[in-house]
Amino acid sequence: MINLDTPIEDVPRIGINYQKKLKKLGIQTVQDLLFYFPQRYDDFSDVIEISQVQAGNTICVQGEIIETNLSRTFKRGMNIIEITVQDGSGEIKALWFNQPFLEKTFRQGDFVCLAGKASLGKKGIYLSNPVHEKIGQFEENEDLTHTARIIPVYGETKGVSSRWLRYIIKPLLTQFIEVVPEILPKNILEKYKFMGIQNALWQVHFPDSFEAADAAKARFSFEELFILQLSVLREKAKLLQKKAPNCPMDADLMKKFTASLPFELTASQKQCTFAILKDLEKEAPMSRLLEGDVGSGKTVVAAMCALNVVKCGYQVAFMAPTEILATQHYKSISNMLKTFGVSVELLTGKTLGRKKLLEKLFAGKIDILIGTHALISKGVEFKNLALVVLDEQHRFGVAQRAHLVKNKQLIPHLLSMTATPIPRTLALTVYGDLDLSLIKEMPKNRKKIQTLIVEPKQRKEAYQFITSEIKKGRGVFVICPKIDSTKTKLEEMQKRGPVSGSFIPQNYNVAMLGVTEIKSVKEEYEQLSKEIFPDFNVTMLHGKMKPKEKERIMLDFKNGQIDVLVSTSVVEVGVDVPRATVMMIEGAERFGLAQLHQFRGRVGRSDMQSYCFLFTTSPDQLNRKRLKALVDSSNGFELAQKDLEIRGPGQVYGYAQWGLPDMAMQGLSNIFLVEKTRAAAKEVLEKDINLADHPLLKERVNRLRTQIHFE
């Protein structure tokens, strides 16, 4: 006996080879197979007479095989199976190439249904490689699987075709659809007029109409986002039941701090700071996401809040994703707070005197500890931590916060910061457990960065302009997609001889693979330093370098000892070099819009006019559309929405790596659906926070927590 939880190994008709291939698609059980939904559909539902077939149309016909023939082309040695089918109104030929096994499938006198595109050849209209299915003798109401209906087309892998998946899924659906449990509460099904799960499951795989397929998909999109919203909102509700240190706002201290700054805070910065300080006064732990465009001044807001927490007698942890950024935060925050008697220290994986530093931390002699993930490594324990500040890393749960504190009864407040613009749909769903603060303004002295797409023929002109900027003492960033040349790597592999199982043919052509167009840091450094800017100091920077070397290079660049810095995306987040006025991006089409916007934000950090040059060799229209969106917009939030619309949720911000189901991914771009699922989740949780009355929902929510990974 098999059931929904039966492993695919125990399902008849699925051999060992198919089991391995299905697991590549994430299919482990019968239930996984039933919930492996089609990506699209082919419409073969309109069966016509052969006499009505016209060349160029996708058609479906039925008839009797009156002739079969297997031949072989002389030049290419290709097998061709050819059949002739008649239906009383006429005849049509169908051809299949390199599928000689079909000779045993087709027998004279068999009745078949064929679907595909009709082509016009020398001997008249024919079908090339059509979808085929054996049928009874013109049985009009026969329930076919591959033809004469709307056909599901699935995501495939080598050796697993949509035809095979239909062959496996349809009988399983027939057998198990009645025992698939309904997970959505009855009142939600009625309120939103959704199909029941059993009908929806059938209609999503073998729909009666495209409207039925859309209705089924709408139900499952809602379901996936609803589960995600329940998960996020439950975590938020649980957190609000915990206790956090109470840090009353010291208004006089805040005024003194703002007066010490060499610039005036924007209205947005003031509003965000006030909202955070009010949260810190509460006894429930704060979970807030501070979102602001590149260079909008989020660090100042964080420093101000950290100062207030320290003066209330508590400690602050400030975590950044890279050593470069952690060091930069350490320097800027130390500088901002130097007149306020605050002890600030830096901890990274390379910190010397770690033991002494951790002893001071545990004794409460360090007020603010800034660092990388080393902050949550073994042995790091604060005496009285009240605030955790995260830069560009939003997932940091209660367990991780508790890990940092000695007093497990009090959970520290959390302030997460990002310059990556998050579309509203994402903020309400994936980051729905975080309250949102937006810094909408840029500092008043900043000029709009001029962004230009540079064609290959315009390179010389662009280089001349960059030379003039360098002569004025300005700094230039050059970003490349890779550290090493793919061409070089492939050539080295070829020199070593053929590699077993290698994907590279022995007599490959590097140019054919297109790899010469992917600029690498090392190639670009060689060319710029020797040929383009030989009179200037050109240096390279990449992630494989040692932290101290990277730090020295960034400092030299900031101080003007380096004119041109050739780098990978290591400079994407947070690096502050006010003298840099040119951002030159090689292979711009290879980066996402949000990432390009981050790069652009590395310049324009002073009152000097800055420029962003997008170098591209790709004629692809979709890439052009994306780059044009960057040229036309300087607003990160606008760009985030455009990126979502152009590329789809699966490709933006690495959503594909999160482990979310496809239906949820697609739903993330629909604000109405997101708001609907959020409202429904709130309604359920208000009455049943522990989901005690909804055991199936609870099980799905708990399973989701183990599957998804947002960072």
**pLDDT at position 517, please?**
40
**End position of a domain, from candidates 418, 441, 468:** 418
For residue 201, give both structure tokens: 């499951």
Same-domain status, 395 and 527:
no
H/E stretch holding 696 = helix 695-707
Examine residue 195 and state whether it is found in any structural domain, yes or no.
no
Report yes or no on 26 lying in a domain: no
Tokens standing for residue 166: 């239909």
Q: Residues 455, 602: one domain?
A: yes
Q: Residue 7 falls within a domain, yes or no?
A: no
What pLDDT sits at residue 569?
Answer: 76
Q: What is the pLDDT of residues 220-278, one digit of tens each?
A: 999 999 999 999 999 888 888 889 999 999 999 999 999 999 889 999 999 999 999 99
Range of the domain at 316: 251-281+297-418
Is 124 within the bounds of a domain?
yes
Quick one: 276 and 350 in the same domain? yes
Examine residue 646 and state whether it is found in any structural domain, yes or no.
Answer: no
C-beta of residue 408 within 8 angstroms of C-beta of residue 247:
no
pLDDT tens, residue by residue, 410-456: 889 999 998 777 777 777 888 788 888 888 887 777 788 999 999 88
The reply to whether 36 falls in a domain is no
CATH number, position 70: 2.40.50.140
pLDDT band at residue 709 under the 50/70/90 scheme? low
**CATH number (domain holding residue 581):** 3.40.50.300
Domain match, 393 and 461 both: no
Give per-residue pLDDT as tens, 172-200: 999 999 999 999 999 999 999 999 999 99
Task: Say if residues 258 and 407 touch (Cβ distance below 8 Å).
Answer: no
Q: What is the mean pLDDT of residues 504-518?
A: 34
Residue 670 lies inside a defined structural domain of this protein:
no
| Calpha distance 285→431 (Å, rounded) | 16
- Over the stretch 101-143, which tens digit does the pLDDT of each residue have? 888 899 999 999 999 999 999 889 999 999 999 998 755 557 8
pLDDT category at 345 given cuts 50, 70, 90 is very high
pLDDT mean over 478-499: 56
Position 30 confidence tier, pLDDT thresholds 50, 70, 90 = very high
- The residue out of 601, 633, 665 marking a domain boundary is 633
Query: In this structure, are 473 and 589 located in the same domain?
Result: yes
Number of structural domains (the chain) is: 3
Residue 335 has pLDDT above 50, yes or no: yes
pLDDT mean over 278-295: 90
Mark whether 347 and 459 lie in a shared domain: no
Alpha helices in 35-191 (DSSP H): 102-105, 162-176, 186-191
Same domain assignment for residues 529 and 591: yes
Calpha distance 329→320 (Å, rounded): 8
- Residue 527 shares a structural domain with residue 609: yes
Q: Which of 396, 418, 440 is the last residue of a domain?
A: 418
Question: 588 with 528, same domain?
Answer: yes
Residue 462 sits in the same domain as residue 593: yes
Judge if 367 and 465 occupy the same domain.
Answer: no
Task: Tell me if 574 is assigned to some domain.
Answer: yes
Asked if residue 471 and residue 589 are part of one domain, the reply reads yes
For residue 71, give Cα distances in angstroms to 68, 78, 114, 122, 126.
10, 8, 21, 17, 16
Minimal CA–CA distance to 5: which of 154, 155, 180?
A: 180
Distances (CA, A) of 700 to 72, 159, 395, 524, 691: 55, 31, 21, 50, 11
